Amino acid sequence: MQYMLLIYSEESDTQPPEEAQKEVFAAYMAYNDALKKADAYVAGDALLPTATATTVRVRESEQLVTDGPFAETTEALGGYYLIEAKDIDEAVKWAKECPGSKYGTIEVRPVMVIPGVD
């Protein structure tokens, strides 16, 4: 079964020191390698900050396109992993190992399977 690991963390206008950025990057690369070695990795990407977002709404044929995120919040979606896991317990195990769990929140959600749709 597939699960999405949605990585949320606080956004900041200031960048952490370069050494800290390198440590986080290295931790994510090691995590990627572990997922791949376990044949659990399906996909994953980091997202640019919410300031780069565009929000689209269509209500009763009226379209509204705005710059920025949908909601004001202290934590923002910063990236995701799509993984293969035998059950929720295994998916949660992977979420606990995600570097983002140390400074943010990992939301684990099963991917809906729709019969007859690839």
- Of 118, 111, 109, 110, nearest to 6 by C-alpha is 109
Q: Regarding the domain delimited by 2-48+76-110, which CATH topology (the fold level of the hierarchy) does it fall under?
A: Alpha-Beta Plaits (3.30.70)
Token pair for residue 115? 């019969």
Name the residue ranges covered by the structural domains of the chain: 2-48+76-110
Q: What is the pTM of this model?
A: 0.86
Per-residue pLDDT of the chain (118 residues; tens, 9 = 90+): 999 999 999 887 677 788 988 999 999 999 999 999 999 999 999 999 888 888 888 999 999 898 876 666 678 899 999 999 999 999 999 999 999 999 899 999 999 989 998 7
**Structural contact between residues 94 and 4, judged by C-beta atoms closer than 8 angstroms:** no
